[in-house]
Each structure stands twice: as structure tokens, then as C-alpha cells.
């Protein structure tokens, strides 16, 4: 439920954008609107499970096969969103929900399109140069307040894959400024540098470093 004008606008924007992306790995929004009294609402599918962030916090690094499966599902969801010219801009483990798949295993669902934007069309809700997103998952261009495109979502996917395989994000720091600086200038650590018990996966590590490249 939303009552403040700007909150209502963002709330309905999330519903509008999410409802445009019909994909098994994106939460389904079936209806949205505003009723008299300025209260906004949307209707989404009922999900039973936990966020990826909660799963990692509770259990640490994940089995590589499961981590890769969830990363592929997330990539397929991003492909669907990007095909609709929608950039998420705040992809993180907290915004990936894990449900039991009807045919067995886990199904990833991307949530929270509240700060997403339509490619090539401004929403009017974000000032130029404003930092939008979560520092630990921000691409270098996001960290600098620059214009973002689909590749910023792929950078965040690289952070999430790293996090699933090591139990932590690649760049941590005591202040937001230090994390943003690392996103812009520092090379990500190797998987085993971040977590000595991490598996030796050179091909996957190559993909992660491509996703986390400083130059998009």
C-alpha cells in the first residue's frame, strides 16, 4: 500500500514494468492500479521460499552446480527484461527469490523493479548523476552516477555469482565510499582468495571476471 505521491509513482512504475516481463524467472504481476483515496496496489503471484541473500547468509557458499543453475535462470530472466528494453538497476541477492520448482529443484524469481527504467525513455524519477542501486552490486558506471544500460545488470549478475560461490560479495568496506571506489578501480579477488574453500573453477572464474570488467 502506498500513499505518498512519489512513492505511489514508483510503486506503480514497478508494477507496470514487472507486468511487462512475462517469464518463469520474473515475479508475475497480474494487476495494478490506484483506488480512491490515493492508495496504490498491485497483485503478484504468491511465492513460498526465501531470498538468495537469506540462503547465502544461513548456509554460506553454495554448491557450484546449484549456483550456476540459479545464475543461468537469472540471466534468462534478464534477457527477457532487456528484450523489453527494461533495465533492473538494483539486481542483488536480496532481489532474487528461491521457490520450489513444480518439477523439482529451485526456481529463481527476480523481484523489485522499483528503480528499473525503460531503455531510452526517462521515467522522470531519477536526477542525472544520482546514485541508484546498492553499492556492493553497482557497476563502475553506476558507482560514478553515469548513465547505465543492460550491462550494469550483467555486472550485478557477476557479483551475485561470485557471492554464491564464496559466500561474500567481491568488494566490501567499512564505508559506502570505499565500496564505490573499489567498484570503480579495484580488480575483484580470485574466488579462493575470497574464500579458501571455494572450488577451483577456472572457466567460471573467467566468466565472472568478464562480467566484472571495469570497462563495460
90 is catalytic: yes
Task: Outline where 21-147 has alpha helix (H).
Answer: 52-59, 64-83, 140-143
Q: Are 176 and 210 in contact (CB under 8 A)?
A: no
Q: Are 190 and 199 in contact (CB under 8 A)?
A: no
Q: How far is CA 108 from CA 77, 208, 214, in A?
A: 9, 19, 27
DSSP-derived secondary structure letter, 47: -
In angstroms, rounded to a whole number, what is the distance separating the alpha carbons of residues 4 and 40? 10
Of residues 28, 31, 63, 90, which has the active-site annotation?
Answer: 90
Task: Outline where the chain has alpha helix (H).
Answer: 5-20, 52-59, 64-83, 140-143, 150-166, 176-185, 191-194, 202-211
**What residues are labeled active site?**
90
Amino acid at each position: 500500500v502506498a500513499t505518498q505521491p512519489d512513492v505511489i509513482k514508483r510503486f506503480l512504475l514497478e508494477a507496470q514494468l514487472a507486468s511487462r516481463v512475462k517469464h518463469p524467472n520474473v515475479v508475475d504481476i497480474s494487476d495494478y492500479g490506484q483506488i480512491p483515496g490515493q492508495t496504490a496496489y498491485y497483485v503478484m503471484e504468491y511465492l513460498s521460499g526465501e531470498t538468495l541473500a537469506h540462503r547465502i547468509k544461513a548456509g554460506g557458499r553454495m554448491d557450484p552446480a546449484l549456483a550456476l543453475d540459479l545464475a543461468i535462470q537469472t540471466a534468462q530472466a534478464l534477457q527477457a527484461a532487456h528484450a523489453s528494453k527494461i533495465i533492473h538497476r538494483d539486481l542483488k541477492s536480496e532481489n532474487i527469490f528461491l521457490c520450489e520448482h513444480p518439477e523439482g529443484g529451485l526456481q529463481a524469481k527476480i523481484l523489485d523493479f522499483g528503480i528499473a527504467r525503460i531503455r531510452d525513455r526517462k521515467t522522470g524519477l531519477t536526477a542525472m548523476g544520482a546514485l541508484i542501486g546498492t553499492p556492493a552490486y553497482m557497476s563502475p558506471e553506476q558507482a560514478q552516477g553515469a548513465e547505465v544500460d543492460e550491462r550494469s545488470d550483467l555486472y550485478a549478475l557477476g557479483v551475485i555469482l561470485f557471492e554464491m560461490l564464496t559466500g561474500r560479495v567481491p568488494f566490501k568496506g567499512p564505508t559506502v565510499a570505499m565500496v564505490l571506489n573499489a567498484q570503480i578501480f579495484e580488480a575483484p579477488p580470485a574466488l579462493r582468495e575470497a574464500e579458501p574453500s571455494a572450488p577451483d573453477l577456472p572457466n567460471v572464474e573467467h566468466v565472472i571476471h568478464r562480467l566484472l570488467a571495469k570497462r563495460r
